[in-house]
Amino acid sequence: MAIRIKARFRRSEDFEIDVNLNLPASQIVALFGKSGSGKSSILRFIAGLERHPENFLSINGQILQDGTRFVKPEEREIGYVFQNLNLFPHISAMENLKFGLARSKSPSEVELDEIIDILEIKNLLGKFPSELSGGEQQRVAIGRALLSTPRLLLLDEPLSWLDQDLKFRLLNYFKHINRSLQIPIILVSHSFEEVINISDWIYELKDGKAGDKKSVREFSLGHSETQGADQTAVVTCKFIETDIAHSLTNLDFEGDTIYITSPDIKAHDTIRIRIDAKDVSISKNWETETSILNRFPVTIESIIDPGSGPSAILQLNKNKQFFFSKITRKSLYDLSLTEGQVVLAQVKSAALLH
């Protein structure tokens, strides 16, 4: 399924949306940007909640809007989770969920009981929206959207009402839905952590215009300084096993092992971890005994030596993936480090992106 968007319309006298996007099939795409950058306006256009003549939208070859056609929102088979709470106030949480089921034009591939369990809303089903907190209402809204069996799921800052733990469990669930049911997802968010956690591709919006499509790695590198790190990289690993005795999870990283402290990763999971340059040291001595568990060979791809100041940055390659190390310029010279050299990377800390 491919999603084609060509839209140019004014939101106000001095603000215009102007995007030309060809979104990849069956993946998760994030629209990232500050408030007021036009992210939500694009979602509303896709959903058909705003009609702008002479603009174009197609999903899997079906034209939903162009100069002569306009498919009504209720006929688009699009699930939409709004930033603002939008449950029907006159019916219970369970009846809101059943409304999603009733909208489905094909048998639902997610079970009602599964949704209730994943979203932890069993004790909310008999309550009306006015009796629910913001986070509780949002969980019900997410369930309602998924039960409608959408061919495209739009998420407009859907996790802003939720606590951190539930937020990342839901991000995992969205990834599971996308992979297992092949439902493409467009996520709108201003959260760096959310978009690098869930997305396959990221577009950054500024002043109504979208930048180039970026991979998670490209995006994280470009935004590392704004996130408080000298360089941050996101790498992909695969689950090996859980070390119950030491409360560790062992991950395969390009043939070597990375140990992290997260206990709730499932077998066969492919996950992302975040590595900050400040947490990576370099050694040329493979025999050194150390308390650092994550040690493996890498190649120095490039060296950024500013010529003054205390620090230098190394880009380190591990087969097809790369990350960074921030070391002192004195260490750079004392170890006689050069580009193309194979050294030992020692990762003191790797943060799991749930």
Are residues 182 and 269 part of one domain?
Answer: no
Asked which of 226, 254, 279 is the last residue of a domain, the reply is: 226
Q: Are 180 and 22 in contact (CB under 8 A)?
A: no
Are residues 127 and 268 part of one domain?
Answer: no
Q: Which pLDDT score, from 0 to 100, does residue 135 have?
A: 84
Q: Which pLDDT score, from 0 to 100, does residue 228 have?
A: 47
Asked which of 200, 226, 252 is the last residue of a domain, the reply is: 226
Positive or negative CA dihedral for 72, 76, 81, 83? Answer: negative
Q: Which pLDDT score, from 0 to 100, does residue 276 have?
A: 86
pLDDT in tens, 49-85: 988 888 999 998 899 999 899 999 989 999 998 877 7
Q: Which pLDDT score, from 0 to 100, does residue 82 have?
A: 85
- pLDDT grade, residue 266 (50/70/90)? low
* Residue 105's CATH number: 3.40.50.300
**For the chain, how many structural domains are there in total?**
2
Whether the per-residue pLDDT at 303 is higher than 50: the answer is yes
Q: Which pLDDT score, from 0 to 100, does residue 192 have?
A: 84
Mean per-residue pLDDT for 152-166? 83
Q: Which pLDDT score, from 0 to 100, does residue 226 have?
A: 53
Are residues 169 and 272 part of one domain?
Answer: no
Asked which of 164, 194, 226 is the last residue of a domain, the reply is: 226
Are residues 134 and 245 part of one domain?
Answer: no
Q: Which pLDDT score, from 0 to 100, does residue 72 have?
A: 93
DSSP 226: G
* Residue 348's CATH number: 2.40.50.100
Task: Provide the domain limits for residue 25.
Answer: 3-226
Are residues 200 and 311 part of one domain?
Answer: no
- pLDDT grade, residue 346 (50/70/90)? very high
Whether the per-residue pLDDT at 99 is higher than 60: the answer is yes
Q: Which pLDDT score, from 0 to 100, does residue 229 have?
A: 47
Tally the residues of the chain: 354
Are residues 327 and 237 part of one domain?
Answer: yes
Are residues 237 and 183 part of one domain?
Answer: no
Are residues 239 and 312 part of one domain?
Answer: yes
**Which amino acid does the sequence have at 352?**
L
